[in-house]
């Protein structure tokens, strides 16, 4: 057994969560994982752990070993993607694996590593890479079923397979480019279809009612869920942005308080700022919520120490609280697009310039017609709010509430 693994029992005993620890230890999968590690003749490492069966149990054990300082920290989203590519390719037929493994490593993973050097590589970005590989596998399987190989692939065959499906065209384009660059396929191109405008934007009255309920506490949702919902409803925040907020994301200047979702801070309405201050005080009292770098505490901590809540968990909590994330975010971005210039929208919310311009155009040029084209019951929202980039447009919306 690796010497460092002998430290695990003492760590679990001192961790202070006896019930959950016992439940975990009694699971058959846990026993299998621990026996596999104990039988290893190699020093404990991430590579050794990767030899264990994949699944949630392996992820959880890795987090425990990192927390116990038995394993070093790593870029989990990036390295987990690397392992997934290897395991996925190994499970494929040999002629598929011969394409998917190098494509995964030299196209998907290489791009991911470049991105991680510029900014944080998220689990959502890793999921996007997995989707591209899954769609590539789907195409190869389709060719097999029709008695063809990649070298037989023609433009009409590719067009018939994509069939205008947005998910397929966007995710297969990189694989087709990779194949043609290596001479494995010729005379192929993928027509990318522009992302259509959102078909659902919600109702203005319902949107404002949800904001009021979360601010006042007239809901069964807990405080973290209320705050997460308000960030989505007021700012159109993406859940990965909310998930990774820490106390270091909060700043103040005299009597004004700010939160940074992207590059520049956004002024908080006083009522929301008070809720966030309360939450910040709570998480700061719990050492398990501290970030790994020690610079702050997660506002939305997960079950694993020093990690944020998973995006899927956060989304489930919001849905239970009656906040449909996608629709709520769409409505918030339309409202903000009517109040703020596209450049401000981009820097404060972390949108690319093209996306922020599209939202601004939808909001300012065709707002009423756009809403009525999808739902004639939507009331026309006010569009005469003056643009004031020195403070949050969302603050005006909160101040207008009773």
- Kindly report, residue by residue over 156-188, the tens digit of the pLDDT: 999 999 998 888 999 999 999 999 999 999 999
- Kindly report, residue by residue over 299-312, the tens digit of the pLDDT: 999 988 888 999 99
Q: In total, how many domains does the chain have?
A: 3
User: pLDDT at position 365, please?
Assistant: 52
Range from 280-289, 299-308, 339-348 that averages highest in pLDDT: 280-289
- Is 171 a member of any domain? yes
What are 298's strand-pairing partners?
Answer: 246
Question: What is the separation of C-alpha 134 from the centre of its chain, rounded to a whole number of angstroms?
Answer: 18
Who has greater pLDDT, 140 or 354? 140
User: pLDDT at position 378, please?
Assistant: 41
- 45 with 80, same domain: the answer is no
Residue 273 pLDDT grade (very low, low, confident, very high; cuts 50, 70, 90): very high
Token look-up 């927390």 returns 67
- Is 309 a member of any domain? yes
- Is 14 a member of any domain? yes
Range of the domain at 293: 204-399
Residue 379 has pLDDT above 50, yes or no: no
- 355 with 211, same domain: the answer is yes
Residue 16 pLDDT grade (very low, low, confident, very high; cuts 50, 70, 90): confident
- 48 with 86, same domain: the answer is no
- Is 198 a member of any domain? no
- 44 with 164, same domain: the answer is no
- 58 with 92, same domain: the answer is no
- Is 188 a member of any domain? no
User: pLDDT at position 386, please?
Assistant: 33
- Kindly report, residue by residue over 64-93, the tens digit of the pLDDT: 999 888 999 899 999 999 999 999 999 999
- 112 with 218, same domain: the answer is no
User: pLDDT at position 156, please?
Assistant: 96
- Kindly report, residue by residue over 202-243, the tens digit of the pLDDT: 778 889 999 999 999 888 999 999 999 999 999 999 999 999
- Is 187 a member of any domain? no
User: pLDDT at position 362, please?
Assistant: 74
Residue 364 has pLDDT above 80, yes or no: no
Residue 130 pLDDT grade (very low, low, confident, very high; cuts 50, 70, 90): very high
- 236 with 311, same domain: the answer is yes
CB 268 within 8 A of CB 275: no
* 3-state SS record for the chain: CCHHHHHHHHHHHHCCCHHHHHHHHCCHHHHHHHHHHHCCCCCCCHHHHHCCCCCHHHHHHHHHHHHCCCCCCCCHHHHHHHHHHHHHHHCCCHHHHHHHHHHHHHHHHHHHHHHHHHCCCCHHHHHHHHHHHHHHHHHHHHHHHCCCCHHHCCHHHHHHHHCCCHHHHHHHHHHHHHHHHCCCCCCCCCCCCCCCCCCCCCCHHHHHHHHHHHHHCCCCCCHHHHHHHHHHHHHCCCHHHHHCCEHHHEEEECCEEEEECCCCEEECCHHHHHHHHHHHHHHHCCHHHECCCCCCEECCECCCCCCECCHHHHHHHHHHCCCCHHHHHHHHHHHHHHHCCHHHHHHHHCCCHHHHHHHHHHHHCCHHHHHHHHCCCCCCCCCCCCCCCCCCHHHHHHHCCC
User: pLDDT at position 41, please?
Assistant: 86
- 258 with 395, same domain: the answer is yes
- 83 with 116, same domain: the answer is yes
Instruction: Give the mean pLDDT of the chain.
Output: 86
Q: Measured between alpha carbons, how far is 186 from 150 in angstroms, rounded to an integer?
A: 10
């Amino acid at each position: 057994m690796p010497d460092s693994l002998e430290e695990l029992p003492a760590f679990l005993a001192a961790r202070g969560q006896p019930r959950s620890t016992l439940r975990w230890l009694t699971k058959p999968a846990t026993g299998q994982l621990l026996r596999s590690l104990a039988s290893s003749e190699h020093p404990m490492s991430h590579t050794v752990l990767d030899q264990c069966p994949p699944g949630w149990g392996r992820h959880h054990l890795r987090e425990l070993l990192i927390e116990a300082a038995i394993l070093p920290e790593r870029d989990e989203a990036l390295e987990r993607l690397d392992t997934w590519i290897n395991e996925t390719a190994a499970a494929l037929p040999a002629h598929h694996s011969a394409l998917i493994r190098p494509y995964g490593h030299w196209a998907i993973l290489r791009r991911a590593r470049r991105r991680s050097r510029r900014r944080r590589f998220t689990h959502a970005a890793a999921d996007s890479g997995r989707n591209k590989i899954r769609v590539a596998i789907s195409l190869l399987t389709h060719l097999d079923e029709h008695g063809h190989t990649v070298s037989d692939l023609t433009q009409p065959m590719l067009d018939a397979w994509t069939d205008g499906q947005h998910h397929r065209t966007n995710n297969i384009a990189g694989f087709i480019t990779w194949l043609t660059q290596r001479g494995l396929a010729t005379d192929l191109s993928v027509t990318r279809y522009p992302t259509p405008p959102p078909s659902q934007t919600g109702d203005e009255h319902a949107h404002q009612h949800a904001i009021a309920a979360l601010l006042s506490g007239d809901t069964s949702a807990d405080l973290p869920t209320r705050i997460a919902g308000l960030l989505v409803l007021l700012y159109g925040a993406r859940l990965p942005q909310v998930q990774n907020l820490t106390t270091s994301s909060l700043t103040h200047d005299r009597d004004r308080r700010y939160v940074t979702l992207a590059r520049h801070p956004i002024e908080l309405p006083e009522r929301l700022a008070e809720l966030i201050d309360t939450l910040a005080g709570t998480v700061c009292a719990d050492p398990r919520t501290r970030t790994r770098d020690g610079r702050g505490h997660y506002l939305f901590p997960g079950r694993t120490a020093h990690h944020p809540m998973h995006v899927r968990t956060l989304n489930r909590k919001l849905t239970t609280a009656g906040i449909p994330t996608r629709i709520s975010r769409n409505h918030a971005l339309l409202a903000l697009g009517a109040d703020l210039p596209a450049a401000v929208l981009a820097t404060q919310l972390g949108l690319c310039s093209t996306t922020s311009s599209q939202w601004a155009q939808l909001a300012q040029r065709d707002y009423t017609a756009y809403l009525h084209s999808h739902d004639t019951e939507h009331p026309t929202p006010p569009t005469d709010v003056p643009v004031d980039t020195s403070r949050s447009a969302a603050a005006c919306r909160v101040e207008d509430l009773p």
